[in-house]
Amino acid sequence: MDSAGSGRQIEISILEMASGKIRNCLGEEELIEYGSGIDDALRFNQKVWDVFCADWSAETCALEDSLRESLLSLGLFVKKRTFTMLAQPTRSGVLSLVELNDNLIQGLRGQVEAEEDPTATDGSVD
């Protein structure tokens, strides 16, 4: 695996860690207790997204402009939602952050698989 592939694996692992920290704080109730550790989990998740956004904002970022703009918009949403959830955490609000992480993880895994097997097709049968 090349350095880009291993870098993607690290990004996946960090996002999985952030989502895991948040999930560990969730109970069955809609309102989340402050003593659950949710504030630390949300702050960790925000730091992860801040690093991604800094990378996406850099002039050296190799992503297409439209993708960068979309990802940066998601990063802004994460920041706003995180601040809201720090003030009054709810299960549904926090789960929206976990779902974003999960979607980004899926996209990164797709990139890793494509880099590992560049001859792979989209899975369709001719």
Three-state SS sequence of 34-71: HHHCHHHHHHHHHHHHHHHHHHHHCCCCCCCHHHHHHH
pTM score of the predicted model: 0.84
What pLDDT is attached to residue 124?
A: 44
Rounded to whole angstroms, the Cα distance separating 32 from 26 reads: 7
DSSP secondary structure code for residue 30 in this structure: S
Rounded to whole angstroms, the Cα distance separating 9 from 89 reads: 30
- Contact of 56 with 75, CB cutoff 8 Å: yes
Q: What share of the chain is helix, strand, coil (3-state, %, to 5)?
A: 75, 0, 25
pLDDT tens digits along 26-79: 888 888 887 889 999 999 999 999 999 999 999 999 999 999 999 999 999 999
Q: How many CB atoms lie within 10 A of CB 24?
A: 11
- Residue 70 structure tokens: 């979309």
Q: What is the mean pLDDT of the chain?
A: 88
Angle between helices 38-57 and 91-116 (to 10 degrees): 40
